Amino acid sequence: MMNRIDQKFKTQDKILSIYFSAGFPNIDDTRIIIKELESAGVDMIEIGLPFSDPLADGPTIQESSNIAIKNGMSSQKLFNQLKNIRNETSIPLVIMGYFNPILQFGIENFCKKCKDVGIDGLIIPDLPVNVYNNRYKSIFQKYELYNMFLITPQTSEERIRYIDDISKGFIYMVSDASITGAKNKINLNQKKYFNRISKMKLKTPTIIGFGISNSKTYNTAISHSNGAIIGSAFIKFIEKNGTKKIKEFVEKFR
């Protein structure tokens, strides 16, 4: 079977992906959020596995992660919640989490559980490309999981080519030299960077994330790439409105 991420990019031009912290606002919201997002027309979902020390994240995701951990979220808990999720949904599901909790769970065990519940890929921001290639790639392949890499405005062309070469699924384009967090606009330098990447004609689809928060930033992002990821803005929304009005949030981007 073709990986659901590949299927999605094959059939659709521009992808709207939403990130949420599993276990936030309430421990058992995971399945509800996934179903609401899918029925609202989102194309892909990134399930955030919370970590106590998320180095690349701003205050919104730090806070939602802390609350999720206090609520009792863990790798095992998440896998329990996701059991049989594939009976209900066919949307591409990606787990995004820092390396230490995955390492403690056991890499192989983690990958196996991902395959069991129907996860399509992982994003592990602090697992460097070379360490992945040398030590863990074969395990990911064994369980048919994609591992997605990040690029930033500072990533050299040579390194982008290398990452493109070894990437599966998509490349996560970090929109700016920045940690995560909602921003109101995209500046000229960012647009130049988006253009530079789109001119490179990479073989792997690109999705832009970090700082994408409203229809304006979303539309700018997708006009230069294959999609965009919204995280902090969505977390703020469900913090305020709960999980009942998710459709309203998603509609702003369609």
Partner 1 sequence: MKYNVDNKGYYGDFGGAYIPEMLYPNISELEKNYKKISSEPKFINEFNYLLKQYVGRPTPLYYAKRLSKKYKTKIYLKREDLCHTGAHKINNTIGQILLAEKLGKKRIIAETGAGQHGVATATVCALKGLKCIIYMGEIDIIRQSPNVARMKMLGAEVRPAKSGSKTLKDATNEAIRDWINNPTDTHYIIGSVVGPHPYPDMVARFQSVISKEIKKQLKIKEGTPFPDYLIACVGGGSNAAGTFYEYLDETKVKIIAVEAAGKGIETGKSAATSALGKEGIIHGSRTLLMQTEDGQITEPYSISAGLDYPGVGPMHANLFRTKRAEFISISDDEAMTAGLELSQLEGIIPAIETGHAFAIFQQKKFKPNDILVINLSGRGDKDLDTYIDYFKL
* Cβ at position 35, least distance to partner 1 in Å: 26
- Shortest Cβ distance from residue 253 to partner 1 (Å)? 25
Q: Which is nearer to partner 1, 88 or 200 (CB)?
A: 200
DSSP letters for 10-54: HH-SSEEEEEEETT-SSGGGHHHHHHHHHHTT-SEEEEEE--S--
Q: Which of 36, 38, 43, 46 is catalytic?
A: 46
The three-class DSSP label of residue 172 is: strand
Active site residue 157: no
Rounded least distance, CB 130 to partner 1, Å = 9
For partner 1, the closer of residues 139 and 150 by Cβ is 150
Write the DSSP symbol of residue 227.
E
Contacts of 79 (CB under 8 A, 6+ apart): 113, 116, 117
State which residue, 20 or 132, has the beta carbon closest to partner 1. Answer: 132
- Select 4 or 183, whichever has its Cβ closest to partner 1: 183
* 57 flagged as catalytic: yes
Please report, as ranges, the residues that interact with partner 1 according to CB under 8 A. Answer: 51-53, 55-56, 58-59, 62, 66, 69, 74-76, 98-105, 125-129, 131, 149-152, 154-156, 159, 174, 177-179
Residues noted as catalytic: 46, 57
